[in-house]
Chains A and B, each alone.
Chain A
Amino acid sequence: MMKCLKNMLRPILRTLAATAVLFFSAGCVSQTHREVVVYVAVDQVHAEPVLKSFENSSGIRVRAVYDVEASKTTGLVQRLIAEKQRPVADVFWNGEFVQTVHLMRRNVVASYAPCGGRARVLLYRPSAVPNSKLPRSLSELASTGLPPARIGLALPLFGSSATHAAALYASLGAPGARALYQALANRGFRIVDGNSVVRDLVAGGQLDLGVTDSDDACGALERHPELRIAPLDDAVVIPQTVAIVAGAPHPDMAGQLSKYLTGREAQRALMASGFVQLLQEDPAFRAACVAALPVPANPPALESVADQFEAGQADLRELFVRTR
């Protein structure tokens, strides 16, 4: 029996020892290399190749932490705030801008730069939604005659949906925006977890029309050519933001990475992979799937949108996170 137990314990102890060495050494090895740490709230499948390309061209090792949609960017933002006194990250690469502006105001990031972005669009099935009935704005959507159970929206509490809502609060004013979202909440639309779910439900035929981001919509078009994209008059272009963390451990390399990510080469790569569809300041820089869409005119300033975020969120939680 003792021999059996020893035989059982030996491999377990060996594994534990190897694991302990691995775990404790993982924090030590990195100090000796040229490296930069980036927290990435951009889809990993798009961001990873760009970061790899930077590694190959600069010789700087990139250590990334990727967010997941399930955490709604809250995860990485909270991590940055929690690490504020002793930052671990050098760069925060965000797929939208509101949280970046808030981090700037809390002195968690030292500076940021907007770059290529996405637009809020309609994704729909032309077989079910004729052109004559296609809504042109969220206001028209709120009063559409189309069956509400066949229309999908992402919860306007997180990510680009929340940013879109904040932009409407900035442009329409709080009473107007609240009335609009109240109408949307009361119509009986399918309110789902995120833009990717809207995309999947429209692509899968469970919905006829949905409001989503242009990267989700263009990706759906590639796999389901029978679908179409339509613009929203009250849409907003949501740029990415690349921010340098205040007190970054590797400020020089953070600067290099930031410059690379906001540069034309990285943005073209992101456009080719499907994450970015347009640049506000360069109308010629557009993805093919949104080439025909008009660029929203007179967009609100990023800071004024961020100003409306928290107040808007309080309203929207009242409207959407409730029993019916």
Chain B
Amino acid sequence: MAVRVLFCIYLLLVYSPLAALLAAAGPLSLDLSARRVALLGHTALYAGAVSALAVMIGVPAATFLRRRTRLSERTLVTVLVALVALPPYVHALAWNRILSPAAAFSGGAPAAVFCHAMALVPLSVLLSLLAFDAIPRELMDAARIFQSGTSIFRRVLLPLAWPTICAGAAILFLLAAVDYVVPSLFSVPAYSLEIHAEFSAGGSMAGALGAATPVACLCGMVLAISLSTLRRAALAARSGSNVLRDCPNAMPKYWILCEWMAAGLVAAHLIVPLTVLGSSLSAPSRAAASVAAAAGDLVFSGLIAVAVAAVGVPAAYGMARALAQSRRFESALWLVALLPAALPAPLAGVGLIALWHRPGIDLLYGTPAMVVLAALARVLPFGALILTMALRRTDPLLEDAATVFEPSRARGWFRVRLPLVAPALGATAIFLAALSLGELGATLLVIPPGAQTLTLRIYNYLHYGESQAVGGLCLLMALLTAALGAAASASVWRRS
């Protein structure tokens, strides 16, 4: 019953802005001109290329981190999530500055694909780690009896991890398809720009929603195509361990080469933005002044992130349980869970205003709660997906035993289920908090006057060209996310 309530809360948080928007917008105007169709196709190719490149880097990087480093899961998650929180635009700008002297990277699709993929690499590595960590040791041990050397990797490890890797690729596709800021930096046309242009020119919600419908359908198609892998990822074997570390000879030579190249790129991903941001701190006093001026924004952003995690994790759990246990209408449920992520952020913000700025129910309007609601509407689909995959690591036999032997459901929940799922909940909380820190489009529409998030301030300074301030604030953002991650993981992993 409680899980059903949480499921309904998920639907309310994610779909209520869209419902209010549809009610306020009136009849949609769909305009599928040849130009828009060509643009949509171009966006699909672009997003596919970004996703594919990010996966090609993320998967070998994940196997490298597991096989050749002694970094704990807690450390890896904390560092990777801290990088996820940095706006992709900051990554893209940093890479653009480094690479632009080379003619091939001064602009155009190849440069855009590379820089955008590099911005998404931390997420790709995170998802790939989830994929390999879910492989049960028993299967690995059995494979070592019957297979040897590189066959284990090609015929056992990779196929078992493949569903989750594909699910991750679908998420990366979605993120790349709805972003226009990074492609615009390299003069690459993106369909999302068309939506903003439509919104800006006419101010019509119906027109903007109509313009957004094709890209939402595109993302829906990609999710539908990857649904089989998403389901397999969710329903795959449940317990896992670091099987990669025990197979030092399991990798083909070409894969070892890929691992080292990917590791180099991930290291570059860490070094490039930090170096560019750090070099912009040539005037430390200016950076320090901007950080001091942003102290209030830092506290506000931190509180928002904590609230998003606190409210979002239970809601995501409700949807994750439904996804893991559904037998009827599975495909529809997956689409329901994930499709709202394709809605442009400003439209979600307008929907929230239409929903909450009414006489009699405007208790929340004008308060920071609106920023929490905006962030939840945007990040919950990703949280549900991450939690669904993370919950695979819990042993269902223990849950069944709790159902049988515990005298009450509540005791069974607190004594068995909650400790079992705590690591998964903790990882999702960190992820939701990190994503909410970077939310911009919907936040701008609903932020209370007088308040500001760190991301809003960073984008403002980016525009002004205050690179010292941007450097200081971005490093502050990364530290905040790392601190949130470390605090949550210290609490969760110690008790798991």
Chain A residues proximal to chain B, CB less than 8 Å: 1-2, 4-5, 8, 12, 15-16, 19, 22-24, 26-27, 30, 37-39, 43-46, 63-79, 81-83, 86, 88-89, 102, 106, 149, 155, 157-158, 162, 190-194, 196-197, 199-200, 203-204, 206, 216, 219-220, 223, 309-310, 313-314, 317-318, 320-324
Given contact pairs A73-B200, A74-B199, A219-B464, A4 touches B187 in the complex (Cβ within 8 A)? no
CB-based contact A65/B449 at 8 Å: yes
Enumerate chain A residues within 8 angstroms of B368, measured Cβ to Cβ: 22-23, 26
For A323, what are the chain B residues with a Cβ–Cβ distance below 8 Å? 38-39, 41-42, 189
* List of 10 A-B pairs having minimum Cβ-Cβ separation, nearest first: A63-B450, A313-B201, A193-B184, A63-B449, A69-B463, A82-B353, A75-B444, A27-B367, A68-B459, A44-B460
Cβ–Cβ contact B457 & A44, under 8 A: yes
B376 in the interface (beta carbon within 8 A) = no
Q: Is B230 an interface residue (CB 8 A)?
A: no
Report whether B464 and A45 are in contact in the complex, using a CB–CB cutoff of 8 Å: yes
Is the C-beta of B452 less than 8 angstroms from some C-beta in chain A?
Answer: yes
* Chain A residues positioned under 8 Å from B306 (CB to CB): 15, 19
Contacts A44-B457, A193-B184, A317-B197 given; does A75 touch B449 at CB 8 Å: no
Besides the known contacts A37-B449, A216-B465, A220-B465, 9 further A-B residue pairs in the complex with CB atoms under 8 A apart? A24-B363, A43-B463, A68-B459, A88-B365, A89-B449, A149-B106, A149-B107, A313-B200, A323-B39
A75 partner, pick from B198, B346, B363, B451, beta carbons under 8 A: B346
Q: Which residues of A contact B462 (CB under 8 A)?
A: 69, 196
Interface of chain B residues 20 through 46 with chain A (CB within 8 A) = 35, 38-39, 41-42
CA distance A124 to B126 in the complex (A): 44
Decide: A196 and B463 in contact? CB cutoff 8 A.
yes
Q: From B6-14, B241-249, B326-334, B413-421, give the one contacting chain A.
A: B413-421
Chain B positions 440-462 with a Cβ under 8 Å from a chain A Cβ: 440-441, 444-452, 456-457, 459-462
Interface contact A158-B200, CB-CB below 8 Å = yes
| A44 contacts across to B, CB distance below 8 A | 457, 460-461, 464
CB<8 Å pairs between A and B, sample of 25: A2-B414, A27-B364, A27-B365, A44-B461, A45-B466, A63-B448, A63-B449, A64-B449, A65-B448, A69-B459, A70-B459, A71-B440, A78-B349, A79-B350, A79-B445, A86-B362, A89-B449, A158-B200, A197-B184, A197-B185, A309-B201, A310-B202, A321-B35, A321-B193, A323-B42
Task: State the CA gap A73–B200 with chains docked (Å).
Answer: 8
| CB-CB nearest in chain B for A219 | B465
User: In the assembled complex, which residues on chain A have CB atoms less than 8 Å from the CB atom of B35?
Assistant: 318, 321-322
- Which one of B189, B372, B465 lies within 8 Å of A322 (CB-CB)? B189
Q: Which of A78, A102, A158, A199 has the most CB of B within 10 A?
A: A78
Interface class of chain A by DSSP: helix
Residues of A within 8 A of B307 (CB): 16, 19, 23
With beta carbons under 8 angstroms apart, the residue of B181, B357, B359 that contacts A83 is B357
Please determine whether B346 and A74 come into contact, CB atoms closer than 8 angstroms: yes
Question: How near does chain A come to B352, taking the closest CB pair, in angstroms?
Answer: 9
Q: Taking CB as reference atom, which chain B residue is nearest A275? A: B464
- Please determine whether B464 and A196 come into contact, CB atoms closer than 8 angstroms: yes
Report A-chain residues with C-beta under 8 Å of the C-beta of B201: 157, 309-310, 313-314, 317
A70 to B303, CA, bound (A): 24
Per the 8 Å Cβ criterion, residues 452-496 of B in contact with A are: 452, 456-457, 459-466, 491, 495
Give per-residue flags for B346-378: 1 if the beta carbon is below 8 A from chain A beta carbons, else 0. 100110011001110011111111001000000
Distance in Å: Cβ of A314 to nearest Cβ of chain B: 7
- Distance from B306 Cβ to chain A, minimum over Cβ atoms (Å): 6
Interface 0/1 of B336-347, CB less than 8 Å to A = 000000000010
Nearest Cβ in chain A — how far from B177, in angstroms? Answer: 15
In the complex, what residues of B have CB within 8 A of residue A309's CB?
Answer: 201
Residues of chain B within 8 A (CB-CB) of A203 are 465
Binary CB contact string for chain B from 51 to 87 against chain A (1 if under 8 A, 0 otherwise): 0000000000000000000000000000000000000
Given A75-B349, A78-B199, check contact A322 B39 (CB 8 Å).
yes
B414 touches A68 (CB 8 A): no
Q: Which residues of A contact B202 (CB under 8 A)?
A: 310, 313
Residue of A with least CB distance to B103: A149
Q: A1-B415, A321-B39 are in contact. Are A68 and B463 (CB under 8 A)?
A: yes
B415-439 interface with A by 8 A CB criterion: 415, 418-419
Main secondary structure on chain B at its contact with chain A?
Answer: helix
Distance in Å from the Cβ of A158 to the closest Cβ of chain B? 6
Q: Is B194 part of the binding interface, using a Cβ–Cβ cutoff of 8 Å?
A: yes
- Alpha-carbon separation in the docked complex, A23 to B369 (Å): 6
In the assembly, what is the distance between CA of A71 and CA of B439, in Å?
12
Report A-chain residues with C-beta under 8 Å of the C-beta of B310: 12, 15-16, 19
B444 partner residues in chain A, CB cutoff 8 A: 65, 67-68, 71, 75-76, 79
A194 to B491, CA, bound (A): 44
CB distance from B20 to the nearest CB of A (A): 10
Q: Is B275 an interface residue (CB 8 A)?
A: no
Q: Are A193 and B197 neighbours in the complex by a CB distance under 8 Å?
A: no
**In whole angstroms, what is the CA distance A68 to B310 when docked?**
28
Is B325 on the interface with A (CB-CB < 8 A)?
Answer: no
In the complex, whether B203 has a CB less than 8 A from a CB of chain A is yes
* Pick from B107, B346, B357, B363: contact of A190, CB under 8 Å: B107
Nearest A residue to B180, CB-CB: A193
Which B residues are in CB contact (< 8 Å) with A318? 35
CB-contact partner of B369 in A24, A37, A206, A219, under 8 A? A24
Q: Which of B89, B185, B187 has the most CB of A within 10 A?
A: B187
Question: A83-B357, A158-B200, A310-B201 given as contacts; is B440 within 8 A of A68 (CB)?
Answer: yes
Q: Are B495 and A4 in contact (CB under 8 A)?
A: yes
Is B232 interfacial (CB-CB < 8 Å)?
Answer: no
Question: Is the beta-carbon distance between A321 and B194 smaller than 8 angstroms?
Answer: yes
In the assembled complex, the Cα of A38 lies from the Cα of B303 at a distance in Å of: 24
B97 contacts partner chain A, Cβ-Cβ < 8 Å = yes
Residue of A nearest to B38 (CB): A323
Smallest Cβ distance from A194 to chain B, in angstroms?
7
Considering only CB atoms, which chain B residue lies closest to A78 in the complex?
A: B350
Encoded as 1 (CB less than 8 Å from any A CB) or 0, chain B from 196 to 228 comes to 111111110000000000000000000000000
Is B100 interfacial (CB 8 A cutoff)? yes
Contact between chains at B460 and A68 (CB < 8 Å): yes
Q: CB-nearest residue of chain B relative to A319?
A: B35
Which B residues lie within 8 Å of A190 (CB)?
107, 187
Would B463 and A194 count as touching, CB distance under 8 A? yes
Q: List residues of chain B with CB within 8 A of the CB of A74.
A: 196, 199-200, 346
Q: Which residues of B contact A46 (CB under 8 A)?
A: 464
Instruction: Point out the residues of chain A lying under 8 angstroms from B463, CB to CB.
Output: 43, 68-70, 194, 196
User: Could you say which residues of chain B place their CB within 8 Å of the CB of A86?
Assistant: 357-359, 362
User: Residue on B with the closest CB to A39?
Assistant: B449
Complex: A82 Cα to B372 Cα, angstroms: 19
Task: Please tell me which one of the listed residues A1, A39, A43, A63 contacts residue B460 in the complex, with CB atoms under 8 A apart.
Answer: A43
A78 touches B445 (CB 8 A): yes
CB-CB < 8 A to A39: which residues of B?
449
